[in-house]
A and B are shown apart, each in its own frame.
Chain A
Amino acid sequence: MRRLVTLSRANLKSFVRNRAGLFWTLAFPVVLVGLFGTIFSGSDAPTFNVGWVDQDRSAASAELRAAVAANAPVTLVDGTLDAEQAAMRKGTVDGIIVIPAGTGGAIAAGRGGTATAPAVLTLITDPSRSTTSQALSQIANGIVMGTNAAESGRPPSLALTAQTIQTEQLNSVSYFVPSILGMALMQLGIFASIPLVQQRETLILKRLNATPLPRRTFVASNMVVRLVLAAAQTVLILAIGTELLHVKVTGDWLVIVGFVALGAVTFTSIGYLIASFARTEEAANGMTSVVQFPMMFLSGIFFPLQILPDWLRGVATFMPLTYLGDALRQTMVGGAPFAPLGVDVAVLAGWLVVCFGISARFFRWQ
């Protein structure tokens, strides 16, 4: 245990004192989050397209529509509930307001002071697009409160209920924050190969081999270092995401921490795999590029998998980053699932076991 602690501390110190490495592994993803955040939070349009589903078709509901269209920063798109939901999934409308049958009657009853039960309007939003859903919920509340206020002192004639729907919307900073966290964890892990190969090339591994330090302690220390870095990285990216970009992290913290740790360890095992086959630092650099770039672009980090052609999506279904990004989006911002969380765990654990198994067989200490 003492050996693990001192070795991990020594490796961390080495890492932190290497300024260039520090920038590329820790700071660069943070810069990326900031960059994407500003670009895409800007395109959360100031006017929203709202699906307007009028199931009442009364004079009163037409009056409501006119009032909303005139006063709120929205463009209303009329249609049936099914049509609007399909449009919302495709991203052509940002939310849906449903005026139920009987709304006109309820308002009339309210004005006459004879209201019994209020008509319940439904607002459908995508919670992963926090800015948009907040704005829409203010608008919908405005409709309800405005109508109820006109009949003050009497029982309310309108109420509001909220529903959520998962959209394929990509121009949302909420999509990027967990995605880039996943990418950062991938890089943190596979770049573990570089110091390993450096230490082998400079005979540090050989020298350690001449001490009684058990190899498992050495490997465990690498894991500890990567987990500490992953924790630092997660805190940095989440701080920027929540404080500067106003992303709402909704999930269970324990589950999120679990996925961050599983992701860090899995990708570190891929780093070990690279270090097992790369003889020189140059070769290791080349191999990390070969591993990281396809994953970066095909694992749904910068754009969702749905827009890829089928054969590329087939490739993506093998990539561990697909599942880490998916799990982080699901657990952090309630993103639409690519696979159930159990599958995400299984695929990541599978990669972990396979990569470690191969590395244990082929890794050379000198």
Chain B
Amino acid sequence: MLRATAGLRPGTSSVIEVRDVRKAYGDVRAVDGVSFSVEPGEIFGLLGPNGAGKTTTMEMLEGLHAADSGEIRVLGMDPTHQAQAIKERIGVQLQTAALFPQLTVEELIDLFGSFYPRRVPVGGLLEQLDLVEKRNAQTKNLSGGLRQRLSVALALVNDPELVFLDEPTTGLDPAARRGLWQVIRGLQAEGRSVLMTTHYLEEAETLCDRVAIMDHGRILDAGTVKELVGRRFHERTVRFDRIDTLGDALLGGLPGVSRVAHEHDEVVLYTGDVPATIGGLLDAAATAGTEPENLMIRRATLEDVFLELTGRALRD
């Protein structure tokens, strides 16, 4: 058993381990001391705006760039020295679908399959990615969604243990995006590990077991969405349409309320005790001869975390 894990750090079986990795292009520190690990069977998301260093990080793991410093282990191996062995066991989908324009879908899958010692049948892949009808279409004639599905198919020709997906759903319409989410969940169900980048919060929230939030070449925080939110936002918010007769001073004095904020025409009460706050609110409103409209209780979301960490909204 010890022999089998000889290439790994003692006590770990992570499919990816990254320690303090740096990569600069001239003066630009694209990746500036990144550490994280991906466990077997996990969908791990790198979330961040464009230019955050997600793609550079991923491409160092794929063996496409060498890191300036730091340690990388992919499937227990070092990409600078064991690139070939790693490449045989991973699947890669680049941010831009790079396809031979004059080849058909089936020819291209067949071509990529021939590069690997171990390959899955073309027919199965066509079905899995719903490309059967397009098997004889030249790739230059495919729509954006089909190109994206084909480039995911190409990432799976070698039955990889670990799949890298770089913004797989960018530019897709909502239906196509949900379709691809199904495919990615399917990869997990088949026992594969997935490292993906995205700049869609919703995608990270619904798809990823764990998320690392990146900006300016650094990982600001990492964990499950629940952990990320819980670490920063112990409180929930109680929201309702503004009632003019209830002033901030009164609302701030309600049980459990730590802070009062206004968003548009909405009052936002941050509270550690939702039932007490709502009870107090309803009483106060009744006393004033009214009741709150559009009353809502919300926990903080990944978006709030992102805003808090980076100081900006992701969709800017």
Please give, as numbers and ranges, the residues of chain A lying within 8 Å of B116 by CB-CB distance.
Answer: 211-212
Residue of A nearest to B95 (CB): A203
Stretch at the interface among A12-20, A111-119, A281-289, A323-331: A12-20
Q: Is A134 an interface residue (CB 8 A)?
A: no
Would you list which residues of chain B between 36 and 65 have a CB under 8 Å from chain A? 62-64
Report A-chain residues with C-beta under 8 Å of the C-beta of B92.
207, 210-211
Q: Which of B63, B88, B98, B107 touches A207 (beta carbons < 8 Å)?
A: B98
Q: Check A204/B110 contact, CB under 8 A, given A210-B62, A211-B116.
A: no
Residue in B94, B107, B108, B115 whose CB lies within 8 Å of A203: B94
A208 / chain B contacts, CB cutoff of 8 Å: 115
Q: What chain A residues lie within 8 Å of B96 (beta carbons)?
A: 202-203
Task: Report A-chain residues with C-beta under 8 Å of the C-beta of B87.
Answer: 210-212
Nearest CB on A from B149, distance (A): 16
Flag if B115 contacts A202 (CB, 8 Å): no
Report the Cα distance A212→B103, complex, angstroms: 20
Q: Interface segment, A3-11, A30-38, A62-70, A149-157? A: A3-11
Residues of A within 8 A of B102 (CB): 13-14, 17-18
Residues on B with beta carbons closer than 8 Å to the beta carbon of A202 = 96, 98, 101
Cα-based distance from A207 to B115 in the complex (angstroms): 12
The answer to whether A211 and B103 touch (CB under 8 A), given A203-B94, A203-B98, is no
Once A17-B138, A209-B64, A210-B87 are accepted as A-B contacts, the answer to whether A3 and B98 lie under 8 Å apart by CB is no
- B112 within 8 A of partner (CB): yes
**A13, A14, A208, A212: most-surrounded residue (chain B CB, <10 A):** A212
Residues of chain B in range 76-130 having any CB-CB distance to chain A below 8 Å: 84, 87-88, 92, 94, 96, 98-103, 107-108, 110-112, 114-117
Q: Are B98 and A14 in contact (CB under 8 A)?
A: no
Partner of A14, one of B101, B114, B115: B101
Q: Tell me the smallest distance from the CB of A225 to a CB of chain B, in Å.
A: 13
Given A10-B100, A10-B103, A206:B115 Cβ within 8 A: no
Pick from A17, A199, A207 the residue with the most CB of B within 10 Å: A207
Q: Contact: B111 with A210, CB < 8 Å?
A: no
**Is A2 close to B, CB under 8 A?**
yes
Chain B residues within an 8 Å CB radius of A213: 115
A163: interface (CB < 8 Å): no
Q: How far is the CB of A161 from chain B (nearest CB, A)?
A: 59
Q: Which chain A positions have C-beta within 8 A of B107?
A: 10, 13
Give the chain B neighbours of A211 by CB distance below 8 A. Answer: 87, 92, 112, 115-116
Cross-chain contact B115 with A13 (CB below 8 angstroms): no
Q: Taking the complex as formed, is A58 at the interface, i.e. its CB lies under 8 A from any CB of chain B?
A: no
A164 at the interface (CB under 8 A from B): no
Q: What residues of chain B lie closer than 8 Å to A6, measured between beta carbons?
A: 110-111, 114
Which residues on B sit within 8 Å (CB–CB) of A13? 102-103, 107
CB of A43 within 8 Å of the partner chain: no
Interface mask (A197-233 → B, CB under 8 Å = 1, otherwise 0) = 0010011101111111100000000000000000000
Residues from chain B with Cβ under 8 Å of A212 in the complex: 84, 87-88, 115-117
Given A7-B114, A17-B138, A207–B103 Cβ distance below 8 Å?
no
**Contacting pair A204 B98 (CB below 8 A):** yes
Q: A366: nearest residue on chain B (CB-CB)?
A: B64
A88 → B minimal CB distance (Å): 53
Query: In the complex, which residues of chain A have a beta carbon less than 8 angstroms from the beta carbon of B63?
Result: 210
Q: Please, how many angstroms separate the alpha-carbon atoms of A17 and B112 in the complex?
A: 19
Assembly CA distance A6 to B98 (angstroms): 18
B112 contact set on A, CB distance < 8 A: 211
* B114: contacting residue among A2, A18, A366, CB under 8 A: A2
Q: How far is the CB of A242 from chain B (nearest CB, A)?
A: 33
Cβ < 8 Å to A, chain B residues 141-160: 154
Contact between A3 and B115 (Cβ–Cβ < 8 Å)? Answer: yes
| Contact pattern, B 15-49, Cβ under 8 Å of A = 1, otherwise 0 | 00000000000000000000000000000000000
For B164, give the chain A residue with the smallest CB separation: A210
Residue of A nearest to B110 (CB): A6
What are 20 pairs between A and B in contact, CB < 8 Å? A6-B110, A10-B111, A13-B103, A13-B107, A202-B96, A203-B98, A204-B99, A206-B64, A207-B98, A209-B64, A210-B62, A210-B63, A210-B64, A211-B92, A211-B112, A211-B116, A212-B87, A212-B88, A213-B115, A366-B64
Q: Report, nearest first, the 8 A-B pairs whose CB atoms are least far apart.
A: A203-B98, A6-B114, A207-B98, A210-B92, A17-B102, A14-B102, A211-B115, A212-B87
Further pairs besides A206-B94, A207-B98, A211-B112: 13, Cβ < 8 Å? A6-B114, A10-B103, A13-B103, A13-B107, A14-B102, A199-B100, A202-B98, A203-B96, A204-B100, A207-B154, A210-B63, A211-B92, A212-B115
